[in-house]
Structure 1
Amino acid sequence: MSSAPAPPEGTDVRALAEVAREVAEEAATMIVQRRPADLGVATTKSSLTDVVTVMDQASQDLLRSLLGERRPQDAFAGEEEGGSAGTSGLTWVVDPIDGTVNYLYGLAAYAVSVAVVVGDPSRPGAWRPVAGAVVDPVAGRTYVAALGEGATVSEGGGAPRPLRVAEAEGLGLALCATGFGYEADRRAWQGQVLARLLPQVRDIRRLGSAALDLCRVADGTVDVYYERGLNPWDLAAGWLVATEAGAAVTDLDGGDPSSAMTLAGAPRTQAALRSAVLEAVDVVGEEHDRS
């Protein structure tokens, strides 16, 4: 169960969502317009396949600068280098390019994810997002959510429209998105779990951006989603978009999503997915801790 604190008194979540939208859209424009023709890998993180491009850092630096101008009292935490403490009780958690490998290869599934959270995002169950935005620059879509205020999507600069998830007619008719880790042993374990799950769903999609997968649950592009190994910057904004659209977003035990597992979908279908993934995990065996 979440132990995240309530937002500080007087927090205007709508205004925070607007800030998230503005800075995410500016960073998204930058990563498209300034993408080098010869873009390559700048460095790697957890493994040789977990890449960072120069544009990841450039996007994060821009986000940090823009948020520092608008919200100097808030803390900042991003996927790449550079963070700062704050005094407001709020922390901006950003993924400057979610779907870096897609971006590197010129595939059209990547996004900028910006969320503001309460609590400590480094401690599972001790934080939650209160406002956020995910921008898909290639598709021209901006997803925005604020705690208790619902979620919207706008396309091509048009007016925002509200999002609401719809139940699939059973897990067997649900299109399921997932993702894989970068470490070889984790991917092998995930492949075994997937093999158990595949016959139980309509089909599987691996799109390569957790933030967009969660938003696609919200807009109905996919019915359910699960993935192990997500970090706070991967899921913060998408988690809020999905939940404000009516989705259940939990871990395997029904608590807050975490690196151990994140599962999302309309409530009944998500519950069925959670049962199926739990059974698959039990059969395959825990080769990694759930933490």
Structure 2
Amino acid sequence: MAVAEEAAAHVRARRPEVFGNVGKRAGSGDSVASKSTPTDPVTVVDTESEQVIRDRLAELRPGDAILGEEGGGEEDSAAEVRWIVDPIDGTVNFLYGVPAYAVSVAAQIDGVSVAGAVVDVAARSTYAAARGGGATLTDADGRVSNLRCNPVTDVSMALLATGFGYGAARREAQGALIADILPRVRDIRRIGSAALDLCMVAAGRVDAHFEHGLSPWDWAAGSLIATEAGARVRIPSPQTSSADGDVVVAAAPGIADALDALFAEIGVDAPIPEG
């Protein structure tokens, strides 16, 4: 948790330095580059944040493997523990000054998340969980509360969160699914950070999250936090990649069965590959 919080403090301090408090047009200058598509940005602060995490883990956990969104990792590492790192989840929000982006760090053993932390950078709050130990939220004043999903039992009254990919074909398919789902639920939110969406399921701020094509760093910590708060969670097989477009789902237990049935009927369970 401390490692993620240290990186979050770096991100928080660097944003006004790089982009100004109101300041520069989002995406301008040498501080931003594109990755998979022109709408998929990476900033200098993403790479700095990941380096902060890598340096600290090298000190605290020498010999452990690290898989990061920006720096990659060794897929064939023999290390028992692998850390899954997203230095800024919600980079577009970060660029535009929308206060919904996070630092996500998880520890996995044999591909299973056993500990994780997601720091909401702007809110200065930390979601955390250990496998079998429950999930907590530490707010900006240091107050700690235990997390539990909402007791909602009616899908038609459920607030869902989702996100969209960066490729046009995947976005078109995701948009078609939204059109089918929206009349059958309370509403849908697109916040812009899958890690925060999953934590919001845990905190009862939304009732479910679903999204196709996420990478392990998007869900490794948040899925554990949601699970430990009582959510039913589905994550992709380790044999797949984000390009395959499998869906991640986290739902409050009272609507999980009904939501599964709805998703099966509409076709949410089907992968949406990149194309």
After superposition, the C-alpha distances for 1:80-134 in whole angstroms (9 at most, x for unaligned) are 0253575541100000000000000000000000001122xxxxxxx21000100
| 1:168 aligned onto 2:152 | yes
Task: Answer whether contact 2:83 2:106 (CA < 8 A) is retained.
Answer: yes
Q: Which residue identity does 2:119 align to in structure 1?
A: V
Among 171, 181, 186, which residue is 1:187 paired with? Answer: 171
For this pair of structures, how many residues does the alignment match? Answer: 259
Q: Matched residues, percent identical?
A: 49
Q: Give, in angstroms, the shift of residue 202 of structure 1.
A: 0.2
Residue 14 of structure 1 is matched in structure 2 by none
1:50-199 to 2 correspondences below 5 Å = 50-83=40-73, 87-119=78-110, 127-199=111-183
Cα distance in 1 for partners of 2:241, 2:136 equals: 21
Task: Answer whether contact 2:170 2:273 (CA < 8 A) is retained.
Answer: no
Cα distance in 1 for partners of 2:241, 2:195 equals: 13
- In structure 2, relative to structure 1, the CA distance for the partners of 1:67 and 1:218 (3 Å cut) is same
C-alpha RMSD over aligned residues:
2.4
Q: Give, in angstroms, the shift of residue 275 of structure 1.
A: 1.8
Cα distance in 1 for partners of 2:267, 2:166 equals: 19
Among 260, 284, 287, which residue is 2:246 paired with? Answer: 260
| 1:42 aligned onto 2:51 | no
- In structure 2, relative to structure 1, the CA distance for the partners of 1:32 and 1:156 (3 Å cut) is same
Task: Answer whether contact 1:250 1:257 (CA < 8 A) is retained.
Answer: no
Q: Give, in angstroms, the shift of residue 166 of structure 1.
A: 2.5
Task: Answer whether contact 1:193 1:277 (CA < 8 A) is retained.
Answer: no
Residue 12 of structure 1 is matched in structure 2 by none
After superposition, the C-alpha distances for 1:240-266 in whole angstroms (9 at most, x for unaligned) are 00001111011599xx99850011111
- In structure 2, relative to structure 1, the CA distance for the partners of 1:257 and 1:217 (3 Å cut) is farther
- In structure 2, relative to structure 1, the CA distance for the partners of 1:82 and 1:188 (3 Å cut) is closer
**The residue matched to 1:34 in structure 2 has which SS?**
helix
Runs of 4+ in 1 over 6 A off after TM superposition: none
| 1:271 aligned onto 2:251 | no
Q: Give, in angstroms, the shift of residue 272 of structure 1.
A: 1.7
After superposition, the C-alpha distances for 1:204-229 in whole angstroms (9 at most, x for unaligned) are 10000000000000000001111101
Q: Give, in angstroms, the shift of residue 34 of structure 1.
A: 1.3
TM-score normalised by length of structure 1: 0.83
